[in-house]
Amino acid sequence: MRINNSNSIDSSKVIKFYFNGKIYTAFEGDTIASSLISNGIFFTSRSIKYHRPRGVYSHSFEEPNSLFEVNSDETYEPNVLSTRENIYEGMKIKTINSWPSLNYDFFSFLTLLSNFLKAGFYYKTFFGSNYLWKNFFEPFLRKMAGFSKAPNKIDKFKYSKKHIKCDVLIVGCGPSGIAAALSLYKSNLKILMVDDDSSPGIKLNEPNEKEWFINTKKELGDKVEIYTNTTVFGAYADNYLTAVERINEKNNRNKLKTRLLLIRAKKVIFANGSIERPIVFPNNDRPGIFLSHSSTYYLNKFGVLLGKKFILFTNNDFAYADILNLQKNGSEIIAVIDVRQNLDGYLPKLAEAKGIKILKGFVISNTFGKKKIKSISVTSLANNRSYNLSCDCLLVSGGFSPSIHLHSQQGGDISYNHDICGFIPDKFINHQICIGSLVGKNSFIDCVESGINGGNYILNEFGFKGYLKPDLSEFKAIKYGKVIPFWAVDTNAKLESKSFVDLQNDTTIADIKVANLEGFRNPEHVKRYTLNGFGTDQGKTSGIISLGIISKEINQPIEKLKPTTYRSPFIPVTFGVLAGRQIRELSDPIRRTALNKCHEKLSAVFENVGQWKRPWFYPKVNEKIDQAIFRECLSVRNSVGILDASTLGKIMISGKDSLTLLNKVYTNNFSNLGIGKIKYGLLLKEDGMVFDDGTTTKLSENRYLMTTTTSNAALVLDWLEEWLQTEWTNLDVFLTSVTDHWAVITVSGPKSRHVISKLNPSISLDSEDFPFMSYRQVNLAGIACRVFRISFTGELSYEINIPWPNATYIWNKLLDAGSEYNITPYGTETMHVLRAEKGYPIIGQDTDGTINPIELGMGKLLSNKKDFLGKRSLSREFKSDKYFVGFKTIDPNLIIPEGAQIISLDRVLNNDKENLDNLLINGSLESEGYITSSYFSPILDHSIALGFLNSGKEKINTDEIFYATGDNNELIRTKIVSPVFYDEKGLRKDG
């Protein structure tokens, strides 16, 4: 019910919105929660497990109940927190956990079973049969319980990020935060303030307090930058804090929804206050039951009253301010139920003087009202006598728990404070302080003083003098009575299963007791067993109460227990805002080679290789992938093919100690490499495992060009730099990445020599003048190129390095020159098939970081004349004798799946073929090896595969039949051969 119009809403702007299909109105500035309450809607949701009626419970991020699906014409948002989302024209709000409708919910019978459905019930009951769980219980439970459906369309909202550096960050703009800013603002320090609410200070009731707050904020003016509607959700090392700023819909043409603030502050002042907690009692979850402070919030901010006839249930004096505020605004106060017998504070006395009935030493023993609270039953603690009171709104206050989340996220210590019955920060993190109600200050004047002192302390840290000593004598310090620790009302076992500790997860006192009974005594374990503290609210209202209940149950003082670990994010944060603008094409850089346009023109299908886009194959019209690869493979073998190999890593190594470096890192000896000669080399990590391979060319004295695999290009450079800078600091070597300085075109096939010579007929390309594994600086079609005679196909090949800008020109020249030989562009797939036919391993495909060079069949490359990285690791004893071999299937058309396991013949026959998976998993059938590469070879017209096999070296070319596990438990018979399937003598490399 709205009784007046406050500053925070614009009553000239009426907004129409829909709730569960019905149209309602609210004003601009309203939240979803205030809009619903002002329309008299209290029953808004169903609870997650028992489908009990629930309503808005609070006013801020602690809200456990009222989460909705929100739709507009083109957007959909799941699990929207009603207390933190502004209403807008045409907004469609829908309840999430009810079917077919909120009022007539199919599953509401579950509440009758709450006595049986305690924590652990589902696990114990449904995990008996895998089949039933998968096919029946899980789908059923998922329909019954849960949050909104995940969106399945593209998010139409936009998100952004902002990096901010400041001298002082003040988290929280309440009285203490503002007071701290007052101490600081004349210093010319860059001060940033952040508050979760859109109207900080709105909960202040006393006119002089309100006035001080408004005037002080005015005085700060533009000396202090204030972000409202912004929640700090993460605090990390070195004062790095992350906040999410909710952009107000009304000045928002770009659909910018939220913005991520990434803040680095020299000093941080946490003034983020405390969160009111309830007291647990039977049926404490009915719509119409609110946290006490929320009544002040909705009244002051939106002019909305939560009811007409109020009852307050409390254990502290602070909640009396709320009830007095309500009375001042004309509400009827039925009674205050105070668990304390003796009330000596100022506010209870004032309330009594104003005619409010206070039931001292009473508790609420039950509540009534099906879809909205109607009456309560109160019981005297002294004589156990009960009677009923009717009301339409019940406020609850169990004291305030400091919001230690951000302090604790960084590992800050906390301790239990008996004055406020809550945990407060103990030792502050370096360059941070905590002030205000976060450290247990509760009255306005205490908070302001705490803020002033905190600000002065920070000034001192920056080396400033002249502290602020404001006159605060107008604020009289009033006496507050002691808060007594009171977490839950004692009741019988039946009502314990209706006494809700965590409203969002339907965790009851009964659940926590079951957990304790079953041995889960640590709060972390209780949390996981009962779900208390999970969900979107992360136990903001329930956490400390559960500790209180556990403490009583296991008979340990609460200060000996630790709240469950606080982790970022403090509030739910969408993926959208974390991603910001780094989505789709901006999510990761895309690297394209100089020849990209040429490939597109040839209708290449691309594949991602790291960040690179590489042509996978070049289909002709109506050609399928297999046909294209077949054609490309045969063209290279029979005539000539052309490949873009620009992505190959290329590192220039220069300086007088270049050779020393090469000899230290490569397994083989580079000392005898002449100018213009090329050598294949293997790089190992110190653990002796193969890290990368490639060729290195001696361009001139002290100048070498090293190539790496595409995927390891950056890693190899990093690794070499690390050795040079941290270990071999005396070496005179310079490394330069030239990967995208030189485009690489490989021309491969028996006709390649003819094609190249057409681009410069004056050079001699025959194998005597330009032998295999040598390099020439050659002028091709007028461009100075580097030509390397190396081969990854086994055919006569020329790898041409061309200055990046000239690559397209040379590519086209080569296509022209090769047209009479039907020169065929081929992609990475054909490249893989051709190299597999030759048994060349691909590092990262055939190896996985656990393969040493001996297993890879490259023992010959290990020099015994010098040390090299990883050598010592190879001289220990090895248990494994697996070896890189070829697999030739008995049926030439069966292709073994990559990753298949190899099983020996006898063992398969002695075992159950049907149960192959189980046999392999439970270890009764051991794998003898595995397949790392597998293809159909067009030139051999036969399936081929590469992989590792135990004692593989001895099995090559024997008659022994092995079985490879195919798809659907099919077994593929195969023989073991040399990994070199084609041209074993290597005659074709010279054309």
Partner 1 sequence: MLFIKCPYCGERDESEFHYGGEADISRPEEPSKLKDIEWGNYLFMKKNTKGIFSEIWSHSSGCRKWFRVDRNTVTNDIIRVYEINK
Q: How far is the CB of 411 from partner 1 (least distance, A)?
A: 9
Closer residue to partner 1 (CB): 689 or 810: 689
Closer residue to partner 1 (CB): 216 or 667: 667
Q: How far is the CB of 558 from partner 1 (least distance, A)?
A: 27
Closer residue to partner 1 (CB): 429 or 434: 429
Q: How far is the CB of 726 from partner 1 (least distance, A)?
A: 5
Handedness of CA 858, 861, 863, 869 (dihedral sign): negative
Closer residue to partner 1 (CB): 239 or 596: 239
Closer residue to partner 1 (CB): 741 or 872: 872
The answer to whether residue 426 forms part of the interface with partner 1 (CB under 8 A) is no
What is the identity of the amino acid at 84?
Answer: R
The answer to whether residue 225 forms part of the interface with partner 1 (CB under 8 A) is no
The answer to whether residue 687 forms part of the interface with partner 1 (CB under 8 A) is yes
Report helix, strand or coil for 63: coil
Q: How far is the CB of 565 from partner 1 (least distance, A)?
A: 17
Report helix, strand or coil for 838: coil
The answer to whether residue 156 forms part of the interface with partner 1 (CB under 8 A) is no
Q: How many residues bind partner 1 (CB under 8 A)?
A: 23
Determine which residue in the list 473, 622, 729, 968 makes contact with partner 1, applying CB under 8 A: 729
Q: How far is the CB of 722 from partner 1 (least distance, A)?
A: 6
The answer to whether residue 162 forms part of the interface with partner 1 (CB under 8 A) is no
Residue recorded with tokens 């036919």 = 837
DSSP state of 913: G
Site string for partner 1, 708-727 (x = CB under 8 A): ----------x--xx--xxx
Closer residue to partner 1 (CB): 241 or 919: 241
DSSP state of 286: -
Q: How far is the CB of 719 from partner 1 (least distance, A)?
A: 11
Determine which residue in the list 238, 419, 600, 820 makes contact with partner 1, applying CB under 8 A: 238
DSSP state of 988: G
| Contact status, residue 392 vs residue 332, Cβ threshold 8 Å | no
Give the range of 193-201, 233-241, 850-858, 958-966 binding partner 1 by CB under 8 A. 233-241
Closer residue to partner 1 (CB): 114 or 239: 239
The answer to whether residue 686 forms part of the interface with partner 1 (CB under 8 A) is yes
Closer residue to partner 1 (CB): 165 or 479: 165
Residue recorded with tokens 């990209």 = 596
The answer to whether residue 239 forms part of the interface with partner 1 (CB under 8 A) is yes
The C-alpha atoms of residue 26 and residue 851 are separated, in whole angstroms, by: 68
Q: To which H or E segment does residue 227 belong?
A: strand 224-227
Spatial neighbors of 876 by CB under 8 A, at least 6 apart, are none
Over the range 177-202, which residues count as b (16 or more CB within 10 Å of their CB) and which as e? Answer: bbbbbbbbbebebbbbbbbbbbbbbb
Report helix, strand or coil for 328: helix
Closer residue to partner 1 (CB): 235 or 790: 235
Nearest Cα residue to 29 out of 250, 203, 228, 197: 250
Q: How far is the CB of 568 from partner 1 (least distance, A)?
A: 12
185: which 2 tokens? 């603002």
Applying the rule CB under 8 A, the residues between 325 and 384 that interact with partner 1 are: none
Alpha helices in 569-673 (DSSP H): 575-579, 596-601, 625-638, 658-665
| Contact status, residue 555 vs residue 549, Cβ threshold 8 Å | no
Closer residue to partner 1 (CB): 190 or 264: 264
Q: To which H or E segment does residue 80 belong?
A: strand 76-81
Q: How far is the CB of 240 from partner 1 (least distance, A)?
A: 4
Determine which residue in the list 107, 121, 240, 462 makes contact with partner 1, applying CB under 8 A: 240
* Exposed / middle / buried, residue 109 (Cβ in 10 Å: 0-12, 13-18, 19+): exposed
Label the pairing between strands 309-314 and 332-338.
Answer: parallel
Q: How far is the CB of 425 from partner 1 (least distance, A)?
A: 15
Applying the rule CB under 8 A, the residues between 57 and 76 that interact with partner 1 are: none
The answer to whether residue 465 forms part of the interface with partner 1 (CB under 8 A) is no
Spatial neighbors of 81 by CB under 8 A, at least 6 apart, are 61, 63, 66, 67, 536, 571, 572
Where in 391-470 does DSSP place strands (E)?
A: 393-397, 400-402, 414-417, 422-425, 432-434
Considering only the C-alpha atoms of the chain, give the largest distance between any 2 of them, rounded to a whole number of Å: 115
The answer to whether residue 430 forms part of the interface with partner 1 (CB under 8 A) is yes
Closer residue to partner 1 (CB): 475 or 723: 723
Cα 676 to its chain centre, rounded Å, is 50
Applying the rule CB under 8 A, the residues between 854 and 893 that interact with partner 1 are: 867, 871-873, 875-876
Angle at 62 between CA 369 and CA 552, to 5 degrees: 75
Site string for partner 1, 252-281 (x = CB under 8 A): ------------x-----------------
Q: How far is the CB of 846 from partner 1 (least distance, A)?
A: 24
Label the pairing between strands 91-95 and 10-19.
Answer: parallel
Helix axes 292-302, 318-328, angle to 10 degrees: 40
Closer residue to partner 1 (CB): 326 or 733: 733
Q: How far is the CB of 815 from partner 1 (least distance, A)?
A: 39
Report helix, strand or coil for 979: coil
Closer residue to partner 1 (CB): 125 or 587: 587
Closer residue to partner 1 (CB): 409 or 635: 409
Q: How far is the CB of 406 from partner 1 (least distance, A)?
A: 15
DSSP secondary structure letters along 676-712: TBEEEEEEE-TTS-EEEEEEEEEEETTEEEEEE-TTT
Residues that bind partner 1 (CB under 8 A): 236-240, 264, 429-430, 686-687, 718, 721-722, 725-727, 729, 867, 871-873, 875-876
